[in-house]
Amino acid sequence: MSKISRNTLNLIYRAGLLDAVHPLWADRLTVLAYHRIADPNGAGFDTFEPNVSATPTAFAAQMDFIRQRFNVISGRDLVAWLQGEQSLPTHPLLITFDDGYRDNLDHAWPVLQQRNMPAVIFLATNYMGQATPFYWDLIAYCFYHTTKQEADLPLIGLQQWHDKASRTAVLKKWLNSLKKLPDQEKWTAVNQLPRLLDVSISPDTFAGLHLTWDQVRTMTATGIEMGAHTQSHPILTRVSLAQARQELEGSKNRIEAEINQPVKLFAYPNGLSTDFNADLQTILAQLNFAAAFTLLPGPTQPAEAQQKPLAIRRIFLHHQDTLPRFAAKVMGLPRLLKPSG
Ligand SMILES: [Zn+2]
């Protein structure tokens, strides 16, 4: 869809063309993949901006768009359908959030509550209630606060920057190199960054970034379901199968113990085609997970979801999505143009 210009998208949106084709594919399963709901340009925002899926204002507008065109289902509805116990409404749509950021409570939950919409939050359990940042947030924080204009970084060597844009480019280049490393080596490299960029991190620098278990329980009591997203958020194909099993089982057991409800949904960290495989799906099935979600682009044909319930597609959203772009993604325009993609 990146090849479709903003003007064309605006035109398609204003002309109502998406609404015209909407009834033609009424049984498709649409799953939205959000991460953070926050204002990346707001005062005090100094963590990883690409992980922001929508501002609070945009999120509310997106939920109003959804409410008028889709039937929002819960994770339980999806599981019951996958297990043959109930059918789905037309235009079924599931709302999901990855990682378990505190802003889901502050900015998404009120919007969902006002509209009586269910959603699923996938938790990386080692981080809940902790002031430990995800590595991408630690890296972004260091680049944001450094006064240096160069650094000799592990993997990519001496890098220089002179403004925000070139600094962001270095950050992204380093993150892309890091992602390919085994988990332990990645952390060894990341932990050098505060020193390399001369940024001090205190024990409470990242306090309040993640949900606490009490907050998780509060939301669970009001129709928000919790799914597993591993303990430490490794890319599961880059750790041993024994470690992967521990990550899956440990996160499931922890959430079930904290909320006293079964956890049957899972989302793969990073979620692309190289980030999950058949071995992982076997373990998920053994652990009694009923559905697992990727970041391969959706929507999904119902038959595909039933055949591959442990690799369900989602629609990845980004805070730079305008409402016309959001509409095109959610209404399946990229998949209609390239259904096999
Ligand atoms: Zn994640």
Tens-place pLDDT, residues 212-244: 999 999 999 999 999 999 999 999 998 999 999
Task: Give the separation between CA 140 and CA 85, rounded to whole angstroms.
Answer: 45
Distances (CA, A) of 65 to 88, 217, 326: 20, 28, 9
Ligand 1: distance of its center to the CA of 100 in Å? 8
Task: Give the predicted TM-score (pTM) of the model.
Answer: 0.95
24: in domain: yes
Based on the fold, state whether residues 40 and 65 are members of the same structural domain. yes
3-state SS class at 60: helix
Ligand 1: distance of its center to the CA of 78 in Å? 21
Q: How many helices (H) and strands (E) does the chain have?
A: 16, 12
List per-residue pLDDT tens for the chain, 341 residues long.
Answer: 556 778 888 888 888 888 888 887 889 999 999 999 999 999 889 999 999 999 999 999 999 999 999 999 999 999 999 999 999 999 999 999 999 999 999 999 999 999 999 999 999 999 999 999 999 999 999 999 999 999 999 999 999 999 999 999 999 999 999 988 888 899 999 999 999 999 999 999 999 999 999 999 999 999 999 999 999 999 999 899 999 999 999 999 999 999 999 999 999 999 999 999 999 999 999 999 999 999 999 999 999 999 999 999 999 999 999 999 999 999 888 776 654 44
Based on the fold, state whether residues 108 and 141 are members of the same structural domain. no
| Strand partners of residue 32 | 95, 315
Ligand 1: distance of its center to the CA of 234 in Å? 9
Based on the fold, state whether residues 191 and 323 are members of the same structural domain. no
Ligand 1: distance of its center to the CA of 98 in Å? 5
Ligand 1: distance of its center to the CA of 139 in Å? 16
202: in domain: no
Where residue 253 sits, what CATH number does that domain have?
3.20.20.370
Ligand 1: distance of its center to the CA of 326 in Å? 21
Ligand 1: distance of its center to the CA of 268 in Å? 7
121: in domain: yes
Ligand 1: distance of its center to the CA of 267 in Å? 8
If 0-12 CB within 10 Å is exposed, 13-18 middle and 19+ buried, where does residue 221 land?
exposed
322: in domain: yes
Based on the fold, state whether residues 26 and 91 are members of the same structural domain. yes
Number of domains observed in the structure of the chain: 2
3-state SS class at 48: coil
Based on the fold, state whether residues 53 and 187 are members of the same structural domain. no
Based on the fold, state whether residues 93 and 230 are members of the same structural domain. yes
Based on the fold, state whether residues 282 and 312 are members of the same structural domain. yes
182: in domain: yes
Based on the fold, state whether residues 224 and 265 are members of the same structural domain. yes
Ligand 1: distance of its center to the CA of 107 in Å? 18
Based on the fold, state whether residues 317 and 180 are members of the same structural domain. no
3-state SS class at 265: strand
| C-beta atoms surrounding 114 within 10 Å | 10
Based on the fold, state whether residues 172 and 303 are members of the same structural domain. no
Q: Is the dihedral of CA 298, 222, 53, 147 positive or negative?
A: negative
303: in domain: yes
Ligand 1: distance of its center to the CA of 296 in Å? 14
Residue numbers of the domain that contains 279: 6-132+210-337
